[in-house]
Amino acid sequence: MKNPDLRVQKSKRDIERAFIQLVNQKGFSKTNVKDICNTALIGRSTFYRYYDDKYMLLEELVQYYTSIFEKLVSNRTKKNYTITSLI
């Protein structure tokens, strides 16, 4: 979340949490924007202000968590750990 506006950060955080919760409960294919909005307690216009659809939301989350994972792996490999410690 790069936007300094706290309202934007809160809205996006709530959307992301609702999405993850619903995907865990119902699966991706059965999760829709209406459910995400209801769970996040936001209006549909707020969702569409930040995301085109649930696929864009998923893509952003995958990119975000992939970058975190890559940084963690990079930090571990820089410290000269053995292969067994990475496993």
**Dihedral angle computed from the Cα positions of residues 9, 11, 12 and 17, in that order, rounded to the nearest 10 degrees:** 120
What are the pLDDT digits (tens) for 17-33?
999 999 999 999 999 99
Residue 1: what pLDDT? 44
Instruction: Kindly tell me the burial class for residue 11, based on how many C-beta atoms sit within 10 Å of its own C-beta (0-12, 13-18, 19 or more).
Output: buried
Residue 74: what pLDDT? 83
What average pLDDT does the segment 27-49 reach?
Answer: 98
pLDDT-based confidence at 78, cuts 50/70/90?
confident
